[in-house]
Chains A and B, each alone.
Chain A
Amino acid sequence: MKKLFLTLATAVLTASFSNVPVLAAGGGDVVLRQADWSFSGPFGTFDKASMQRGFQAYTEVCAGCHSMNYIAFRNLADLGYNEAEIKAIAAEYEVVDGPNDEGEMFTRNGIPADRIPAPYPNELAARAANNGAYPPDLSLIVKARANGADYLYSLLTSYEDAPAGTAVPEGMYYNAAYSGHMIAMPQPLYGDDVEYADGADTSMDAVAKDLVNFMAWTAEPALEERKRTGVAVMIFLVLLSGLSFGAMRFIWADVKKTRA
């Protein structure tokens, strides 16, 4: 019986792992660069300083084309900003509001409740401004790509000269981490693209990591709470399993006797 159970358990695990090749199938010919992310593992937490730098890099480098639709300024509290800082950040943005009493739309300064404004009013405008390519929204990008964190880290740092004999069409760029290698996004990071107030490293590699730390948070803001709750729930359930196993042994004691 034990054998049967073990076989079944293994089978179930195998069955679930059979998904893995599919998940990784984003691009079969791509080897991802891996980094040691602070948010991975059962006790993982976000690196707040790095996320703040990542937010700055997003604002200065990415936000010209990529929206961040699911993040409101108030969410930036998770990065360690206080209320006054968030108000100041929000106020730097112009937000379309309305209609007012005259029925007109108007712009005003942002408030913490506003979402980060998108660079383009709609997808068609975005395509028109980018050679027909659509810069995707970045709020969920880490969850919307297989091995999202490593993938984006690799993508941001893998712009190369195309190998000899490979023709790169007009408006396309060669990226070793991108499936098919031809990507419409020009190289965003070259190193020293931003100036950090805390004097942190601004090499391409370091900024890419900051960006990934930031986008991992935008994709899953509840990650820290989830893992924290998870540890408590697991401890509770393991204790409950042990206790109920003991109770079961007690109750079944007399049955076992007559059975032998």
Chain B
Amino acid sequence: MSANQFQNPVVRWIDHRLPIFSFLNHEATEYPTPKNLNYFWNFGSLAGISLVIMIITGIVLSMNYTAHVDYAFDSVERIMRDVNHGWLLRYIHMNGASFFFIVVFIHIFRGLYYGSYKAPRELLWMLGVVILLLMMATAFMGYVLPWGQMSFWGATVITNLFSAIPFAGEGIVTWLWGGFSVDNPTLNRFFSLHYLLPFVIVGVVILHLVALHRFGSNNPLGIDTRGPQDTIPFHPYYTIKDFFGLSVFLTFFAAAVFFFPNFMGHPDNYIPANALQTPAHIVPEWYFLPFYAILRAVPDKLGGVLAMFGAIAVLFILPWLDRSPVRSGRFRPIFKIFFWVFFADCLVLGYIGAMPAEGIYVVIGRVATIWYFLHFLLILPILSVAETPRPLPQSISTPVFGGSGAMAGAAAAPKRKVE
């Protein structure tokens, strides 16, 4: 790790004084990574690249955008029609938000399935939840900026959530708006914050990476690496794998941008905001739908808001709800079933969020909401003690199945369980 490992004298000179090259070499090149990561581990780097794409396109879009109620909609249309390649930049940014969430949701479900939130990675997980919260805030405020009908009414409905807070609620909402309704001051502060928050996300992402590199990546077996035979250097193995994953991701992304750019949007947002008329069906962007369903499932204003925020808050304490010493769902037969039920539950919530709040949809929404919380608050704690996990392999380089006489892990498993 000494500075003279570098051939180039300029690099060596700089590195001696400012060890950035040693740092990069250590954290991005030699960085020992479990050799058995599957494609689900691609989604971390994809999320990082999505963030970069969003920031870059966002910066250039803001060069052409006007944050004023009289000009916002027109300035977006000018981007779409007159600014060189403006349509491309805006469609990338618009669909990029959706793809960022797709990637992050897969990243989160991967963590849930393989127990990536368990010791010693609790803080890594919690920082991830902070990133999710910041992303939601950023996406919400970004959706307001084009100042279409959905922008305006989305902003009105979501800011009104805060009016559920006892006593101070009305005052807080007025403060958020900077007036008595969503108006020009609201648009201006949302633009300011929409520009700021992505950089806050970058900061938390750096912390997320620091925490990750403390113990290294979890892996599909969920067992710790036991030495050099279990790991490979990040470069070139995972750089090329991430690059391949990126190419495939961009192919899907480009298909949306160039051929279905408005598929994940809503037609009403091409109607300029009108404070006197609410669209007949107002729905948030698809990535908020499960949370929207939880909000509407509770027949009480404050209760609904608390449930919605609770759905995220519960993720913070997840490492202490699931106490099973086995990380990977691969070795937890019952957990695995409940994981898929939970996954289906989230999809149901998403579907219900898109449906009008009436009739059978309300009932299904309530059942799904209750299940969401039951999964975390009851099922996971019970499974932690009630479930007998399957035997764990001894190490990553000693496979359990298919190999010859590799069942040594079976004997080791109970010992690991009490660790």
CB of A226 within 8 A of CB of B243, answer no
Task: Identify which of A1, A14, A148 contacts B220 (C-beta below 8 A).
Answer: A1
Question: Residues of B contacting A172 with CB < 8 Å?
Answer: none
Which B102-121 residues have a C-beta within 8 angstroms of A?
A: 102, 105-106, 109, 113
Question: Residues of A contacting B283 with CB < 8 Å?
Answer: 22
B156 at the interface (CB under 8 A from A): no
- Shortest C-beta distance, B407 to chain A (Å), equals 17
Q: Which of A53-61, A161-169, A205-213, A230-238 contacts the other chain?
A: A230-238
- A side interface size, CB within 8 A: 54
- Shortest C-beta distance, A215 to chain B (Å), equals 12
Assembly CA distance A4 to B240 (angstroms): 23
Question: Residues of B contacting A219 with CB < 8 Å?
Answer: 270
CB of A11 within 8 A of CB of B77, answer no
- Shortest C-beta distance, B4 to chain A (Å), equals 28
Question: Residues of A contacting B254 with CB < 8 Å?
Answer: 230, 233-234, 237
- Shortest C-beta distance, A182 to chain B (Å), equals 14
CB of B87 within 8 A of CB of A222, answer yes
CB of A16 within 8 A of CB of B286, answer yes
Where chain B touches its partner, the secondary structure class is helix
A31 at the interface (CB under 8 A from B): no
CB within 8 Å for A11 and B38 given contacts A226-B87, A227-B259: no
A42 at the interface (CB under 8 A from B): yes
- Shortest C-beta distance, B233 to chain A (Å), equals 11
- Sort chain B's interface into a size bin: 35 or more
A21 at the interface (CB under 8 A from B): yes
Which A152-183 residues have a C-beta within 8 angstroms of B?
A: 179
- Shortest C-beta distance, B103 to chain A (Å), equals 10
Which A61-86 residues have a C-beta within 8 angstroms of B?
A: 70, 75
Interface centre among A15, A245, A252 (most CB of B within 10 A): A15
Assembly CA distance A146 to B113 (angstroms): 38
B62 at the interface (CB under 8 A from A): no
Task: Identify which of B77, B281, B350 contacts A70 (C-beta below 8 A).
Answer: B77
A107 at the interface (CB under 8 A from B): no
Question: What is the 8 Å Cβ interface bit string for chain B, positions 229-254, against chain A (1 contact, 0 not)?
Answer: 00010001100110110011011001
Assembly CA distance A234 to B240 (angstroms): 20
Please, which residue of chain B has its CB at the minimum distance from the CB of A143?
A: B270
Assembly CA distance A194 to B262 (angstroms): 33
Assembly CA distance A75 to B91 (angstroms): 21
CB of B350 within 8 A of CB of A1, answer no
Question: Residues of A contacting B247 with CB < 8 Å?
Answer: 237, 240-241, 244
Question: Residues of A contacting B88 with CB < 8 Å?
Answer: 226, 229
- Shortest C-beta distance, B264 to chain A (Å), equals 6
Assembly CA distance A114 to B270 (angstroms): 22
CB of A16 within 8 A of CB of B264, answer yes
CB of B39 within 8 A of CB of A23, answer no
- Shortest C-beta distance, B72 to chain A (Å), equals 14
Task: Identify which of B80, B258, B263 contacts A229 (C-beta below 8 A).
Answer: B258
Question: Residues of B contacting A179 with CB < 8 Å?
Answer: 280
CB of A144 within 8 A of CB of B268, answer yes
A197 at the interface (CB under 8 A from B): no
- Shortest C-beta distance, B280 to chain A (Å), equals 8
Question: Residues of B contacting A144 with CB < 8 Å?
Answer: 267-268, 270-271
B255 at the interface (CB under 8 A from A): yes
Assembly CA distance A247 to B232 (angstroms): 17
CB of A255 within 8 A of CB of B267, answer no
A19 at the interface (CB under 8 A from B): yes
A105 at the interface (CB under 8 A from B): no
Interface centre among A4, A23, A230, A255 (most CB of B within 10 A): A4
Assembly CA distance A11 to B250 (angstroms): 19
Please, which residue of chain A has its CB at the minimum distance from the CB of B399?
A: A259
CB of B257 within 8 A of CB of A230, answer yes
Task: Identify which of A18, A146, A245 contacts B289 (C-beta below 8 A).
Answer: A18
Please, which residue of chain A has its CB at the minimum distance from the CB of B402?
A: A260
Question: What is the 8 Å Cβ interface bit string for chain A, positions 1-42, against chain B (1 contact, 0 not)?
Answer: 100110110011011101101110110000000000000001
Question: Residues of B contacting A12 with CB < 8 Å?
Answer: 102, 105-106
Other than the given A70-B81, A251-B237, 19 more pairs (CB < 8 A) read A1-B38, A4-B40, A7-B343, A8-B106, A16-B264, A18-B350, A21-B355, A42-B259, A70-B77, A143-B270, A222-B81, A222-B87, A227-B258, A229-B258, A230-B258, A231-B258, A240-B250, A248-B241, A259-B397
3 closest A-B pairs by beta carbon, nearest first, are: A230-B258, A144-B270, A241-B247
Listed A/B pairs (10) with beta-carbon separation below 8 Å: A21-B355, A22-B266, A22-B283, A143-B267, A221-B81, A226-B261, A237-B247, A247-B244, A251-B236, A258-B397
